Amino acid sequence: MAPRLRLVEIPGTSARSVFLMRRRSLLAVFLLTPLIALFASCVRGFVESDVQDRGPRVAAQTLADRLDLEGSTDPISRVETLSNDHNLVVFCPGMASLRINDDVFDLPGPIIASSRGTLLPAAAEGLIRSRLRTPPPPEPKKQTPTRRPKQPSRNDWLRQRAPALPPNWNVAANRRWTSIVIHHSATERGGARLFDKMHREQNGWKYGLGYHFVIGNGTDTGDGRIEVGSRWTRQNEGIHGAHAGTDQYNQHGIGICLVGNFEEDRPTPTQMAALLKLVRRLSDRYKISPSAIYEHHEVRPEHTDCPGRFFPYRKFLTAVRRPR
């Protein structure tokens, strides 16, 4: 059997009582709203008067400008930061403290949000300024000796390591060598092969290259490379040098030519080192005195400026004379 439904009136839900309840609610809203507004304005006034009472304020943006810091605000948390590479200042409206790097400091009043942006008690400026870290000074350069390989200057050839001499420099000569004559090629480039060709074709010399030795400058042959001419290796066949312009120095003077024009440039350091090594060995081997080491123009004064004004003759002779 189906249960019989029974209408029961819940107190206060009759049409009349609902009407009375709504009227009371509306009345309450009408009465309470001005009261709430009044209360809120009182509280606001209290807070603002509290702010005014606690002294001057400074805007966060002003602080950032004065302290040369970058300001930013997290849009959700409203947490604000002022920072640079070495510092971080963190604060938030409503608080009466802030964090400067790793420490928290109390402020003499609260931080507030206003139409001028976030305002901090003015004392915050001095506090932050006194706590900012300055960038560390640059690390002093260590005074350890540098191992950078020194590039010798053109005058520094005395410390330059000389290349090895070619084995055929050492000839058991059947003639007496009494002097060494130093030349430049008066050309920017060249080598024994080129000068041999020139001496054959331009000078018409049957035995070609007139010098006994040629020392390269890194153009056609290696820098400081010593080439031995056939007039040296074939000297015992009665073939003389053809470099000095006089019989005496062609037949008894060893002709050494450095590639380059030393009227305009200097020999390379390696060329000079090679020359020094070669001249010392020849002097020792054939008993030639340093006083018999000549520049070409010394044996042919009217005919040539060879080996040029930039050839360091005095320094070279001093080095040859130095005890070894």
The binding site for Zn ion (CB under 5 A) comprises 183, 296, 306
Tokens 């609610």 locate to 25
Q: Output 110 or 210, the one with its CB closest to Zn ion.
A: 210
Q: Output 185 or 268, the one with its CB closest to Zn ion.
A: 185
Q: Output 231 or 296, the one with its CB closest to Zn ion.
A: 296
The CB-of-172 to Zn ion minimum distance in angstroms stands at 27
The CB-of-255 to Zn ion minimum distance in angstroms stands at 8
The CB-of-291 to Zn ion minimum distance in angstroms stands at 19
257 φ/ψ angles, rounded to the nearest 5 degrees: -115, 125
Q: Output 128 or 242, the one with its CB closest to Zn ion.
A: 242
The CB-of-284 to Zn ion minimum distance in angstroms stands at 24
The CB-of-274 to Zn ion minimum distance in angstroms stands at 18
Contact indicator for 316, 272 with CB cutoff of 8 Å: yes
Q: Output 183 or 240, the one with its CB closest to Zn ion.
A: 183
The CB-of-323 to Zn ion minimum distance in angstroms stands at 29
Q: Output 257 or 274, the one with its CB closest to Zn ion.
A: 257
Task: State the Cα torsion 79-85-86-91 to the nearest 10°.
Answer: -10
Q: If you ran DSSP here, which 8-state letter would residue 86 be given?
A: S
Q: Output 91 or 195, the one with its CB closest to Zn ion.
A: 195
* DSSP secondary structure of 18-84: HHHHHHHHHHHHHHHHHHHHHHHHHHHHHHHHHHHHT--EEEHHHHHHHHT-EEEE-TTT--EEEE-
The CB-of-156 to Zn ion minimum distance in angstroms stands at 25
Q: Output 120 or 186, the one with its CB closest to Zn ion.
A: 186
Please choose, from the candidates 235, 245, 246, the residue with its C-alpha nearest in 3D space to the C-alpha of residue 213: 235
Distance between terminal CA atoms of the chain?
A: 139
* DSSP secondary structure of 163-227: PPPPGGG----SS---EEEEEE-SSSS--HHHHHHHHHHTS--TT----SEEEEESSSS-EEEEE
Tokens 């010593």 locate to 226
Neighbours of 219 (CB within 10 A): 15
The CB-of-313 to Zn ion minimum distance in angstroms stands at 13
**Cis geometry, peptide bond prior to residue 312 (ω within 30 degrees of 0):** no
